[in-house]
Amino acid sequence: MPIADTNLSNGKRMKLFKNLDFNKLKNGLSKTRNKIVTKINETVTGKAKLDDATLEELEESLISSDIGVETALKVIEETRTALKSESDRSSINVIDILKRELTNTLEHQQNYKTEYELVEKYKPYVILIVGVNGAGKTTTIGKLAHNYKKAGLSVIIGSADTFRAAANEQLEIWAERAGVQLVQREHGADPSSVAFETIIKAKNIKADIVIIDTAGRLHTKNNLMEELKKINKVLSKVIDYAPNETFLVVDGNTGQNAIVQAKEFSKFVNLTGLIVTKLDGTAKGGMIFQICAEQNIPVRYIGVGEGIDDLQTFVPEEYVKALFN
């Protein structure tokens, strides 16, 4: 995993850390690879030259692999256009072109500055985490905090999910594992007050990163969504630029439902990124292509295992490479 050094404006030396383990990524995507790439290989294997009929078969393979109809149509059309200027229509070359177009699908929303580039400007750098129950939100926060801590940053977590007593206990365990500070209140406390207390403490101790947890809201519950808006308002009163990021955590197993969640949450908060979890346990990893193609929200991190190091930075080219490797 690449590590580079940079100087912060306050003179502190910090290691910039990109958590990317290709072998772990490849192994974690094995079920998705079997579903997508196996079908593609079956379509093109043994064919010396690929024609339009074969491209239509490839299109059907992509559609049935959770990539989505519109996305599959666009990818195949781009592949067909690229092939017009190619004399080589062998299966190997067609797959290379297909990989390139799939990568382009993932990259079109990835033009953003990373948190590490911006943490120099914003201190503390404030991240709000949202998502429904069961998506892996609590464990993701722990892993994200671990990534930042390993990068040399000071991190504080605010446990604003006060609706579930177990949420505080789980987050306390993960905060301890990551070696970061945690602010929490009693069960049933006002979530906004936890967010307020966390960001005040972060300013006092000059923390680099603030991560605010929120209740696992069902995206159909408007009253709970309104609570999210209230937390946002409280954060911005203390620090006018907060939050810097709002990440939606979605379960890779849910496929199309993850896309619905992204649409619904976007109505209430300004989502700046998605974290897709549990990709190691599903064959539905193709949904990432659909999310990137249809939503104006980049995928920022993906979960490919249960370990504290298993939340990986999402790199489109590496994701496609891991699928086809």
Lowest mean pLDDT among 149-158, 198-207, 222-231: 222-231
Residue 301 within any structural domain of the chain: no
pTM above 0.85, yes or no: yes
C-alpha Rg value of the chain to the nearest Å: 21
> Could you tell me if residue 178 is inside a domain?
yes
Q: Which of 48, 73, 107 is a domain's end point?
A: 107
Q: Is residue 9 part of a domain?
A: no
Predicted pLDDT of residue 1: 36
Which of 45-54, 103-112, 146-155 shows the highest mean pLDDT? Answer: 146-155
Alpha helices in 29-131 (DSSP H): 30-44, 52-63, 69-84, 91-107, 115-118
In the chain, how many domains are there? Answer: 2
Q: Final residue of a domain: which of 80, 107, 134?
A: 107
Residues 237 and 255 in one domain: yes
Domain end residue (candidates: 56, 81, 107): 107
**Structural domain for 38, as ranges:** 25-107
| 79 lies in the same domain as 175 | no
Q: What is d(CA 234, CA 237) in angstroms, rounded to the nearest whole number?
A: 5
Residues 216 and 132 in one domain: yes
Write the DSSP assignment of 21-33 as a string of letters: -HHHHHHHTHHHH
Portion of the chain with pLDDT greater than 90, in percent: 44
Q: What is the mean pLDDT of residues 208-225?
A: 80
Q: What is the pLDDT of residues 143-154, one digit of tens each?
A: 999 999 998 899
Q: Tell me: pLDDT of 45 over 90.
A: no
CATH number at residue 30: 1.20.120.140
Residue 15 belongs to a domain: no
How far is the CA of 300 from the CAs of 49, 99, 201, 248, 250, in angstroms?
38, 20, 27, 10, 12
Residue-wise pLDDT for 170-194, tens only, equals: 899 999 999 999 999 888 889 999 9
CA dist 16 and 7 (Å) reads: 10
Residue 254 lies in a domain: yes
Residue 18 · residue 312 · CB < 8 Å: no
Does residue 19 fall inside a structural domain? no
For residues 33 and 126, membership in a common domain is answered with no
Q: What is the mean pLDDT of the chain?
A: 85
Q: Quick one: which H or E segment has residue 300?
A: strand 299-303
Between helices 316-324 and 30-44, what is the axis angle to 10°?
60
Give every CB contact of residue 9 below 8 A, 6+ residues apart in sequence. 120
pLDDT per position as a tens digit, 225-274? 788 889 999 999 999 999 999 999 999 988 778 888 888 888 888 899 99
